Amino acid sequence: MSDVYAEPTTGAAPTGPATLARYTTLCLGGPAGRLETASSAEEIVQKVREADARDEPILVLAGGSNVVIGDQGFPGTVVLLRSQGVQAIAEDGDAVTVRVEAGETWDDLVATTIERGWSGLECLSGVPGSAGATPIQNVGAYGQEVAETITAVQAYDRSHGEVVRIAAADCGFAYRGSIFKYSDRWVVLSVDFRLTRSPLSGPVRYAELARALGVEVGDRVPLADARATVLRLRAGKGMVLDADDPDTRSVGSFFTNPVLEREAYELLRERAADLGEPPSWPGAGDVVKISAAWLIDKAGFGKGHLGPEGVAISSKHTLALTNRSGTASTAALVALAREIRDGVHDRFGVTLHPEPVLINCVI
Ligand SMILES: Cc1cc2nc3c(=O)[nH]c(=O)nc-3n(C[C@H](O)[C@H](O)[C@H](O)COP(=O)(O)OP(=O)(O)OC[C@H]3O[C@@H](n4cnc5c(N)ncnc54)[C@H](O)[C@@H]3O)c2cc1C
């Protein structure tokens, strides 16, 4: 499978040999203290052990599609994960368990599963980045999440200096979260996915996808149709990396959809009474998930809204903040994120939280 990470994944020019902007889809981030590349699970463990022995902070970086790295960069060791390999490790009736090395390109993996007739990842087509990062924030899109198919994660546990197997039930998967997010204890080495041998997708759960496929929610469609339609929908929103499209010089969604207790949700409805019903989805228990994109738009930050140094809200999707000029600083992007967060709070009393991992910067 291909390695799409080695060079800048979007248009902006690198600004120095160890400048981390080179390795992030935002094309932002200052220098690394030390930059190491690891091409196998053994090498990842070795590089991390060596940095720990030097008592240096470590940043594990794969596709760089979910990080915002400060202009000061990262003073410790950055380990670039480039391990490759996909292996069917178990078969059981219609189920096949596939072990995927952390550095595999996620979308190549999805394409492979579809070619082989393995159902379970098709709606996650086009998500940038690596397979090993998918458990970190329980990657999800168009009604699927990796938590539904991951059975276990092999990881290096820095606090005990050993490789461990963590069953899915112990990964703490939640909406855009897990025990791994904002923790530097574990380095994911490989991930096991349990997929189903079937020419058909799982039941389509996302209304927009069902409409685009011309089916009802709950129907199943050929795997290749699901993939093609998801890729088309994503491309229309600037959510598939494209070096020629500055709208994709982003981390995808910058803010998570707020999850509100019932009382807070009713307060929001009151404050938004003049704007109609806020789009929402029922959550587990008595909570309601609301659309961050709607809040941002209705607070007055529309598509294309410009910030300093040519950072901007994507012209295709209100939730993506972009380094449109390709020459902006992280400080400028963070200033735009703050403006939006504070504007939404002033208008609706709801606090937006960033989805990407912030490294040496705060909003
Ligand atoms: C255009 C675009 C669209 C996107 N769409 C979606 C979407 O639909 N759904 C979604 O969920 N996300 C989406 N994202 C976000 C991103 O693609 C995913 O979160 C992806 O899984 C990040 O992978 P990565 O390899 O780039 O991680 P990186 O950005 O390299 O790392 C992200 C974080 O995970 C940590 N990390 C990475 N690999 C490992 C590892 N092996 N072990 C331990 N820690 C690790 C890093 O230290 C960092 O904290 C999108 C991003 C972009 C740019």
Give 179-217 pLDDT, tens digit per residue. Answer: 999 999 999 999 999 999 999 999 999 999 999 999 999
d(CA 217, CA 362): 40
Q: Which amino acid is at 212?
A: A
260 to each of 57, 65, 285, how far by Cα in Å?
Answer: 35, 27, 11
Check: pTM over 0.85? Answer yes or no: yes
Per DSSP, 347 falls in state H
Per mean pLDDT, which range of 276-280, 294-298, 347-351 is the poorest?
276-280
Q: Whose CA is nearest to atom 19 of ligand 1?
A: 66
Tell me the pairing of strands 32-38 and 312-313.
unpaired
Q: CB–CB of 247/316 below 8 Å?
A: yes
Per DSSP, 186 falls in state E
**232: annotated active-site residue:** no
Q: What is the pLDDT of residue 14?
A: 39
Model confidence pLDDT, tens digit, residues 123-174: 999 999 999 999 999 999 999 999 999 999 999 999 999 999 999 999 999 9
Tell me the CA–centroid distance for residue 92 and ligand 1, in Å: 30
Average pLDDT on 116-121 reads 98
Catalytic residue among 101, 104, 122, 355: 355
Tell me the pairing of strands 357-359 and 67-69.
parallel
Q: What is the pLDDT of residue 10?
A: 35
As for ligand 1, residues whose beta carbon falls within 6 Å of it are 25, 59-67, 81, 102, 127-130, 132-134, 136-137, 139-141, 180, 187-188, 239, 241, 248, 250-252, 357
Tell me the CA–centroid distance for residue 306 and ligand 1, in Å: 25
Using the Cα atoms of residue 294, residue 337, residue 235 and residue 100 in order, give the sign of their dihedral: negative
Model confidence pLDDT, tens digit, residues 1-29: 333 333 433 334 333 446 999 999 999 99
Q: CB–CB of 303/318 below 8 Å?
A: yes
Catalytic residue among 176, 234, 249, 324: 176
Catalytic residue among 83, 119, 190, 253: 253
151 to each of 119, 167, 220, how far by Cα in Å?
Answer: 15, 6, 23
Q: In what order do the strands lie in the sheet with 58-61?
A: 32-38, 74-81, 58-61
Residue in the block written with tokens 């400028």: 332
Tell me the CA–centroid distance for residue 216 and ligand 1, in Å: 31
Q: What is the pLDDT of residue 285?
A: 82
347 to each of 192, 268, 296, 321, how far by Cα in Å?
Answer: 44, 10, 10, 20
Mean confidence (pLDDT) of the chain = 94
Q: What is the pLDDT of residue 230?
A: 98
d(CA 123, CA 110): 9
Task: Find the DSSP H helices in the chain.
Answer: 41-53, 106-115, 207-213, 223-236, 262-271, 292-298, 330-348
CA max distance for the chain: 59
Q: Which of 26, 37, 65, 68 to mutate for ligand 1's pocket (most ligand atoms within 8 Å of CB)?
A: 65
Tell me the CA–centroid distance for residue 239 and ligand 1, in Å: 13
**266: annotated active-site residue:** no
**198: annotated active-site residue:** no
d(CA 16, CA 13): 9
Q: Which tokens go with 72? A: 């000061």
Tell me the pairing of strands 186-197 and 95-101.
antiparallel
d(CA 242, CA 323): 14
Element (H, E) at 290: strand 287-290
185 to each of 48, 82, 146, 275, 345, how far by Cα in Å?
Answer: 11, 20, 21, 44, 33
Tell me the pairing of strands 58-61 and 74-81.
parallel
**Looking at the predicted structure, is the pLDDT value of residue 105 above 70?**
yes
